[in-house]
Amino acid sequence: MKSNLFSFHGRIKRSEYIVSIMLNLCFGIPLQIVYGMTDNLAVHIILFLLRLILLLFMLAQGAKRCHDLGNSGWFQLIPFYPIWMMIADSDYGSNEYGSNPKGNGGYGSFNDKR
């Protein structure tokens, strides 16, 4: 999570994407529970705004993960594609979205020169 969390530019590793999902769940589920337990309009508005912030965070992280796979950030809107983002390996080396966050790439050893 070294890069700007709300930026849609660059690439992130698979592990950073999975950590982002876990953070979203850790904050999103309690927010949703509190949202369902209260009838106060002011609390609903605050919780709604917090959920929007979490949505922006996840869209940014998803776009960066799509970039790591060599695709546009819009690919994350394809059904079940986020599952693929959790299991697929990075594009080897640099691509149009930046350098590989792992270093040279996700194939073989560090000395692999593909």
Mean pLDDT to the nearest integer, 14-39: 94
Report the distance separating Cα 70 and Cα 98, nearest Å: 10
**What is the reported pTM?**
0.83
Structure-derived torsion over alpha carbons of residues 78, 6, 102, 74, reported in degrees to the nearest 10: 20
Q: Is the confidence at residue 31, as pLDDT, over 90?
A: yes
Confidence at 99, pLDDT banded by 50, 70, 90: confident
**Who contacts 101 (Cβ-Cβ below 8 Å, separation ≥6)?**
11, 12, 13, 16, 68, 90
Q: Is the confidence at residue 2, as pLDDT, over 90?
A: no
Q: Is the confidence at residue 84, as pLDDT, over 70?
A: yes
Q: In the chain, what is the greatest distance between 2 CA atoms, to the nearest angstrom?
A: 60
